[in-house]
Structure 1
Amino acid sequence: MSLFHLSDYFLLRTPLLPAAFAVDLLTIKERHEIEEKLRHLFQNEQLKEALFLASPAFSVEVQKWLEYKKESSSKMIASLLKYAIRMSTRSTPFGLFAGVSFGNIAVSEKKVSLIRANANKAVLKLDATILTGIIEQLSKDKRIYSQLYYRINPTLYLDGKYYKYYQKGSNGKKGQHILKRIRLTPVLDRVIQHFERNKRTSHYQSLIDLLQGLGASTTHAPLFVNNLISLGIISSELQPNVIGRGYLDSLITTLERVDKAENYLNPLLTIKRWLHSSQSVIEIRTAILKLLQPLAPDLDMTNSLQGDLLIGMDENNLSDTALNHIRDQFQDLLPLCSQAKLTDFDQFRAAFSVKYEDRMVPLTTALDPDIGIGYGRQEGVYNITDEILGDVKNITPTGEKKYGDHHYQDLVIEKFVASVKNQFTEIRLTGKDLDHIAKQRKQTAHTIPSSFYAIGNLLRSSCQENLFFNLGTIGGSSSGNLISRFAHLDEELHNKFKRIGQQRATAVSQCNTCRDLSLPRQ
């Protein structure tokens, strides 16, 4: 019985242009012929938009060349050639150069039914950097921040005479959070108690009233609250947990309540309409930049928009017969599955059992490297306050490197030597080889996540031959990790993504799902 169960859908990833275009382009030897072919290619409005979204400045120069207002250069032609090859050979979605389409796995004897339509859909959104810049601007405007609700830092906890908490670092390391501490004072303690009594949330004015009731002046009360914000002890409702396509809607909803003068609300509503308009990407970006400039004048607007491409398909179906065959091959190859490495979480779990046994302790206490266990390497925890060790980095013991245990390494070397001696053009792993590897290692089902994806290419040398699935990548902790990137593009795909979350909540390790295929357009 197979450990794997196929889902009823797949995600097709395909370049914007046919693969045959790259083959034809690379056979041309004369520069002037390449230039003419590229000139003809980039007259296409869809390709102009893809190029514009990737590099607006370069796109402007290319447009001048297309209109014979500028001579070509070797650098320009080389760049256009790279873009053209990328748009016809790489399935990995990037801007509008390649896209995705939701496909169905049906009970059918027909092995494949993939037919492209002429209608593709570009889905645009504001870049996360732009959204973050707008949030920062709003957070400086008293008319806005004084009307917001604030929540206390969820990592805040008491350790002796100090409150400790994690705050996102500003030392240039992306995503790093630093453990900080602040001395306990009667006023700070009363503020934190106020949050605890109100479900860890409070309006700005309520905090002002609390502090004034404790004796603070009308000048000092706002200063104290703003200091709590800057220290990361509290944060406003504008601060997102995750910035995605839906965050602009969330931001607009908040501004509808607090932006009485509509200084920010009206521009953002207009931006939202432009993002959903049917105008060209060039027109949309131009209009949005005019609206963004007053909102965040100091931001670099070069990459203000991000885009994804939903590929139009007349038919997008694969047969369960063909995919069941692939599933069975995954089962046969299971002995080659690498054992999972010991992760930071595994080490933390083991240390927790040793230190605390069956006791219940707050997670923040266990994560504290002073009074608990710590987690991972925790770089940067004390580099702000420690004057002695602040500049010392990467203190690790030296020693011999330890490599993983590959039970099939001898077999690989043996097969390679045999292929050289006998001048084989291919190397085959037989069922006997796999059985031998399986006996050398202990493979159990729990090493496989409850759902995962497989990425590969569907290949054939001619229209008459059967398709082959060339496996490129398999694994991941969840199939949802990959699909979440595109779930907003298609309602049906979004619903499938929600179903993954429900399945993960009740999944067992014997039910594993592979969900993704990648296809260069033929």
Structure 2
Amino acid sequence: MEKITYGILDKYALRTPLLSCNAEFFKTVSFDDLERLTDNPVFMEALYIASRDFYNTLISFRNTKNKLDPKAYFSILKYFSRMSTRCTPFGLFAGISVGTFTGEESKTVVGQINDFKNHVQLDMNILFSVIQIINQNKEVRKYLQYFPNTSISHYTYTDTLKYIEYKYISGIRNHLLTSIETSDILQAILEKTKDGTPFTSLVEMLVAEGFEEDDSNDFINELIDSQILISELEPYTTGDDILDFILGKIKDIPELHSLYTFLNEIKNTLSAVDTPGKTDNIEKYEQVGTALHSTEIKMVDDKNLFQSNLNTNLIQNTLSASLKKDLMAGVKILNKLGKKTSNPSLDQFKNTFYTRFQDQEVPILEVLDSDTGIPYGMSQNKTESPLLKGLHFKMDRNANGASPQDGIANSFLYKLSETYLSGSYSIHINDEDLKQLSDTWDDLPKTMSVSTEIYEKDQKPVIHISGCMGSSAANLLMRFSNSNKDVYDLCSEIIDKEDQYLNDQVVFAEITHLPESRVGNILLRPALRKYEIPYLAKSNIDPSCQISLDDLYVRLIEDRIVLKSKKLNKYVIPMLTNAHNYTNPFLLSIYRFLCDIQYQNTRMFLNFDWGALSRSFVFYPRIEYKNIIISKACWYLKPNLITRFKDKENLADELKKWRSEIKMPAEMVLVEADNKLYFNLENPVYQNLFIDILQKKRDLVLEEYLYSEYNSIVKNEKGEDYCNEFIFSLCQKQ
């Protein structure tokens, strides 16, 4: 057994829904109750931000009292369940706060909703549309600085310069690989603009070379229009609030005075809707929406005008330090049970790289060139359409590279069969069981997030760790850092600790890339790392700390891919400190390659799953160790189940009989990827919703709802339970 070299930081994040998990309401909720929710200002505001179309449907119903479509009742119920039982922050449905471990007893008390703070801003699609308008205005360019496109590659053995430009088609950012012939003057311009150069200085440079001023203006404009040169107003993913950034840049540009005034008024209006449920909040949203529609700003998707993050207010937010022992016990178990995975894309790349280059150090842009380089993330016998160069297609594997044959320890198969024979609901494991399994700590990231729910039974804690994840413990938190100072401080602490693990020959560098405009809503985060690798997105840090792609070289050392910056003369570990799912095969291969490197020879996840046994049975029991729930009980339902419930008159009785057969409690949760939806199958409304979903879905996965058995450690002042998700930071000890 290896010595445990990790511990839990004193600060943690707590994610909670907007509303308490009112068990009595869910048990008795009726269609009349759902109609009354349309008079709840907090519910309606949350709905307005999430779905203005459905909000307008309910307003029409409230004003006319026309009968609602039956499906509308289901939607109301889904939204209300979301803001009562699911902790993942989204709009006003759930929010975040930061707490601290203390030596005393745990006290986590949620305050009044009118003390919560909602940080509302324009959707990134709109902000980037504003940036497009400014950048396309040739009268404004004389006030701006310009930089080379961060994807430019130029090899000494060719006169061709390659780069990626993007175009917005129906609001979607599409990337296109472009090739042009280079020239001495173009190379001189690219060299001059490395750290940013004003438009006027570039024109003066050409005039000094003997070109006419009008021709010089036209040439620089052509370079900008073709995206060889990029303005300082290019969208970014690391930095402060983008609207503030735009306002700061255009404040002193006379031609944009009216735009500045307009945007500043919007900023002030949105600043005034910071308290959920205020009577005039929706009126202010409407004012902003009306104003936006009266401008030239392209409203490609006017259903998504706003993006918001909710900061919850906890009167007390402390946990007993004694809980750390339980948490580390849970992490240790997951470490033993977690699968060892590989990344086929990286493995294939290493093999091909060695065949072609052996131990040479090769520019990354040459290695991953879409014409002559190594295809990344796809079989090499696949061909690419010229329009899709640089885009790779999905391989037959899951996101973390696990094989379908990966399984759990043989002992769990035996315990599962024991459960079926005895009719038990849970598998209890003990220290003797765990002794048979080894654990390793040297293949984990330096920090990871530990996602945990904490319950109480007989005033004693019960914890469920759903998993440890991420290349950094800051990944799940970073997008909230710009709107929550406490989260910002926690992320800063995590990143400072990560830097301490490095020697002076290695640096972490943040990957800054914008795949698509609306993704910017979750990608935008503070620039907390010293170094960045900008790729088709602007970097706001000092140019001396920006590592351009043409400065990065790839080498294979002892079966490990290493990147080196020639400028810094240091090895570089790329980091993507956010929760973006970069494994989408239609994202650019360089981006996916850099992101994969951060997980090289480390495990992305520590979690329990049933491996090859998954979906082989209907019922999978809960797995417990002392006061730690390792895995919730779950059920896999097949499409033909719907035939059992054709008799609507006896639906309640048939559901009850069916649940008894498969040991399913009345309260449970439907799981679809990251989405979860609460059900109470003793309630007629939920029963009908369940049947409606069962008719549409081929397969359903359900898991138990532990708040029906345990109390939550998080409550409000009235003593009502709140669903909770604690995000703890697992850090390697120095």
The equivalent of 1:341 in structure 2 is: 342
Equivalent positions of 1:104-503 (< 5 A) are 104-108=100-104, 110-118=105-113, 119-159=115-155, 160-168=158-166, 177-184=175-182, 186=183, 189-214=184-209, 216-217=211-212, 220-242=215-237, 246-278=241-273, 280-299=280-299, 300-342=301-343, 344-345=345-346, 347-348=348-349, 351-352=352-353, 355-356=356-357, 359-377=360-378, 383-384=385-386, 403=403, 406=406, 408-438=408-438, 443-460=439-456, 464-503=458-497
Does structure 1 residue 521 correspond to structure 2 residue 722?
yes
Aligned 8 A contact 2:148 2:193 in 1: no
Aligned: 1:44 with 2:40: yes
Counterpart amino acid of residue 489 in structure 2: N
Please tell me whether the aligned partners of residues 124 and 275 of structure 1 are also in contact (alpha carbons under 8 angstroms).
Answer: yes
Equivalent-residue separation in structure 1 for 2:170 and 2:21 (angstroms):
40
CA shift for structure 1 position 183: 1.4
> Please, which moves more after superposition, 488-497 or 233-242?
488-497
Larger strand percent = 2
Q: Secondary structure at the match of 1:415?
A: helix
Distance 2:125 2:94 in 1: 23
Q: Indicate conservation of the 8 Å contact 1:134/1:295, yes or no.
A: no
Q: Partner of 2:447: helix, strand, or coil?
A: coil
**Counterpart Cα distance in 1 of 2:100 and 2:396:** 52
1:15 to 14, 17, 21: 17
* Contact 1:340-1:447 within 8 A present in 2 as well: no
Give how far 1:378 is off: 10
* CA distance 1:66–1:383, shift in 2 (3 Å): same
Q: CA deviation at 1:326?
A: 1.6
Once the two structures are superposed, residues 378-421 of structure 1 have per-residue CA deviations (whole angstroms, 9 ceiling, x without a partner) of: 999963369xxx8x9959899xx993664634222211112112
SS of 1:482's partner is coil
Separation in structure 2 between the aligned mates of residue 16 and residue 153 of structure 1, nearest angstrom: 43
Q: Distance in 2 between matches of 1:58 and 1:171?
A: 27
CA distance in 2, matches of 1:76, 1:434: 49
> How far is the alpha carbon of 1:303 from its aligned partner?
1.2
SS at match of 1:309: strand
Name the CA distance, whole Å, in 2 between partners of 1:518 and 1:507.
Answer: 34
**C-alpha separation between the residues in 1 aligned to 2:394 and 2:77?**
46
Distance 1:465 1:249 in 2: 48
C-alpha deviations, 1:256-300, integer Å up to 9, x for none? 233445021111111111221246431331222243234434313
Classify 1:444/1:326 alpha carbon distance in 2 versus 1 (closer, same or farther; 3 Å).
closer
- Sequence identity (%): 23
Give the Cα–Cα distance (whole angstroms) in 2 for the partners of residues 363 and 136 of structure 1. Answer: 30
Is the deviation greater in 257-266 or in 371-380?
Answer: 371-380
Instruction: Confirm or deny: 8 A CA contact 1:53 1:281 kept in the other structure.
Output: no
CA distance in 2, matches of 1:422, 1:505: 52
What amino acid sits opposite 1:89 in the alignment? T
Offset of residue 319 of structure 1: 0.9
Q: TM-score, normalised by structure 2?
A: 0.61
Work out whether residues 160 and 180 of structure 2, in 8 Å CA contact, stay in contact via their aligned partners in 1.
yes
3-state DSSP of counterpart to 1:264: helix
User: What's the secondary structure of 1:58's corresponding residue?
Assistant: helix
1:447-470 CA distance string (max 9 Å, x none): 211111122322346xx4423212
Cα 1:92–1:395 change in 2 (3 A) is: closer
Aligned equivalents of 2:473 and 2:28: distance in 1?
39
Question: CA-to-partner distance for each residue in 1:350-370, whole Å, 9 max, x for gaps?
Answer: 655665455444332232255
Residue identity opposite 1:288 in structure 2: V
Q: Tell me which moved more, 286-295 or 412-421.
A: 286-295
Matches within 5 A, 1:62-101: 62-67=58-63, 69-101=65-97
Greater percentage in helix: 1
For residues 282 and 395 of structure 1, the distance between their equivalents in structure 2, rounded to whole angstroms, comes to: 42
- The 1:281–1:4 alpha-carbon spacing in structure 2 relative to 1, beyond 3 Å, is farther
Q: Which moved more, 1:272-281 or 1:250-259?
A: 272-281
Structure 2 vs 1, CA of residues 381 and 98 (structure 1 numbering), >3 Å: closer, same or farther? farther
- 1:97 CA drift (Å): 1.1
Per chain length, whose mean CA-contact separation is higher, i.e. which structure has more relative contact order (CA < 8 Å, sep 6+)? 1
- Equivalents in 2 of 1:132, 1:168: separation in Å? 13
8 Å Cα contact 1:167-1:232 kept in structure 2: yes
Give the secondary structure class of the aligned counterpart of 2:8.
Answer: coil
Kindly indicate whether the alpha-carbon contact (under 8 Å) linking 2:455 and 2:713 is maintained by their aligned counterparts in 1.
Answer: no
In the alignment, what sits opposite 2:636? none
The question of whether the paired residues in 1 share the 8 Å contact of 2:116 and 2:312 is answered with: yes
Relative to 1, partners in 2 of residues 1:200 and 1:115: Cα closer, same or farther, differing over 3 Å? closer
For structure 1, the 5+ residue unaligned runs are none
Structural RMSD (CA): 3.7
The CA deviation at 1:496 is 1.5
Alignment coverage as a number of residue pairs? 497
Give the alignment's TM-score, normalised by structure 1: 0.83
Change beyond 3 A, Cα 1:219–1:381: farther
Decide whether the 8 Å contact of 1:252 with 1:269 is kept in 2: yes
Higher mean displacement: 78-87 or 406-415: 406-415
Shift, 1:150, TM fit:
0.8
TM-superposition CA deviations, 1:421-448 (whole Å, max 9, x none): 222221123323222232xxxx532321
Given that 2:130 and 2:297 are in contact with CA atoms closer than 8 Å, whether structure 1 keeps it comes out as: no
Are residue 53 (structure 1) and residue 63 (structure 2) matched? no
- Matched with 2:31 is 34
Q: 1:518 and 1:174 mapped to 2: Cα distance?
A: 43
Whole-Å separation in 2 of the counterparts to 1:395 and 1:476 = 22
Gaps of 5+ in 2: 503-600, 607-711, 715-720, 724-734
Deviation at 1:484, TM superposition (A): 0.5
Q: CA deviation at 1:333?
A: 3.5
Distance 1:61-1:424 versus aligned 2 partners, 3 A rule: closer
| SS of structure 2 residue aligned to 1:167 | strand
Residue 345 of structure 1: how far off its partner (Å): 4.6
